[in-house]
Amino acid sequence: MGVSDPLYVGLMSGTSVDAIDCAMVRRHGDHVVIVATHEHTIPPHVKRQIAAISHSGADEIQRMGVLDRMLGLLFAEATMQLLHLARKRPVDISAIGSHGQTIRHHPPSAAASEETSFSLQIGDPNTIAEKTGITTIADFRRRDIAAGGEGAPLAPAFHAAAFSKAGVTRAIVNIGGIANASILDGKELLMGFDTGPGNTLLDHWIARHHGQSYDHDGQWSAAGQIHDALLQKLFAHSYFSKTGARSTGKEAFNLPWLDSQLAGLEPIAATDVQTTLMELTCISITNAIRNCPLQVAEVYICGGGSHNSYLMKRLAQHLAPATLANTSVVGMDPDWVEAVTFAWLASRTLEGLSGNSPIATGASGARILGGLYPGRDLST
């Protein structure tokens, strides 16, 4: 890989809305190397607006339109800061891949019919392209949905390209707000799917009771006891009985849903609820991996969950005898895998190559993903 290989930027803001992850990568074929990274702060007032627009409410089209532009400007600002840190110019970058901020995910598996399914991400790519001068590719999910797919997860194609190894069965698991897994049988992608809640319920529960954005190292989760009756009720959710291509989101797993599951039970200590939610995350990931048609030998974790030492400990106990580590062991910092994924997807789109994995999303075939928004010459 040399300096003549193209550079791409990937932008990712997930369901946890903690920050905009920005990664600059150099690509040679399917091999990518991270050149620079930047975590860009999302201001509290923007986070509040994202949380509010994620549910139906008054004047939501007006509010969505304003927030779409606001996020476009924020993504552009994040990109320019990344370029500054890397000492690169807009002309050095082939394209930006922007995932956007998901405000609704209503895939075919959760919709009344295929015709009513959709996934919506905002963060105006026109604004990103205009303000950075860099060609921007966005709206990756809707073409897959148009082809009958879930629109998610999109990471499995990249996971197969970046982390597969001949003769080894691996699972690559991203634990963000929602967790997803890619099952690799040697160099082949066998399956890909969302497993269920990752950090989303844990984060919201500790925010409600302690005003913290996340449970550092799972310390609060480790302090309680598993409540078996609650855990059984949580696993009665219909999502956990689904098989094959499937995806989910905060529309299914949220605090109102959790409150409805707590109703009818004897009062449970908040700490014990948190411990039980941790088990929900760990067991749902474990069950999804174990229900695959082959035995997985190695599991690698990326995303924010990789930093939660208690979560990693419980996962290792549940997944044994499979080994557990984060993706740094196989060559990529776990904090940047998602952002790198969208840089890689942008490069695929720009080259006229497919980006989805029909075996993971359920789409009727491979598709070139995303819309292309040309950049402009900032020197004029």
Residues 104 and 167 in one domain: no
Residues 137 and 163 in one domain: no
Residue 2 lies in a domain: no
Residues 191 and 209 in one domain: yes
Residue 1 lies in a domain: no
Residues 321 and 176 in one domain: yes
Q: What is the widest separation between alpha-carbon atoms in the chain?
A: 68
Residues 180 and 121 in one domain: no
Residues 186 and 305 in one domain: yes
User: pLDDT in tens for each of the 380 residues of the chain?
Assistant: 556 789 999 999 977 788 999 999 999 877 899 999 999 999 999 999 998 998 888 899 999 999 999 999 999 999 999 999 999 999 999 999 999 999 999 998 887 677 899 999 999 999 999 999 999 999 999 999 999 999 999 999 999 999 999 999 999 999 999 999 999 999 999 999 999 999 999 999 999 999 999 999 999 999 999 999 999 999 999 999 999 999 999 999 999 999 999 998 999 999 999 999 999 999 999 999 999 999 999 999 999 999 999 999 999 999 999 999 999 999 999 999 999 999 999 999 999 999 999 999 999 999 999 999 999 887 65
Residues 307 and 341 in one domain: no
Residues 112 and 209 in one domain: no
Number of domains in the chain: 2
377: which 2 tokens? 């010459």
126: which 2 tokens? 């026109």
Residue 378 lies in a domain: no
Residue 379 lies in a domain: no
From the list 82, 123, 159, the residue with the least C-alpha distance to 340 is 159
**DSSP 8-state assignment for residue 83:** H
CB 105 within 8 A of CB 251: yes
* CATH code of the domain containing 78: 3.30.420.40
Per-residue confidence (pLDDT) for residue 1, from 0 to 100: 53
Question: Which residue range(s) make up the domain with 209?
Answer: 155-330
What lies within 8 Å, CB to CB, of 287 at 6+ separation is 195, 240
Handedness of CA 213, 215, 221, 223 (dihedral sign): negative
Residue 319 lies in a domain: yes
Residues 164 and 111 in one domain: no
Residues 350 and 296 in one domain: no
Q: Which residues pair with 31 in a beta bridge?
A: 28
What lies within 8 Å, CB to CB, of 267 at 6+ separation is none
Residues 119 and 165 in one domain: no
The torsion angles phi and psi of 7, rounded to 5 degrees, stand at: -105, 140
The Cα–Cα gap between 368 and 152 comes to: 14
Residues 159 and 147 in one domain: no
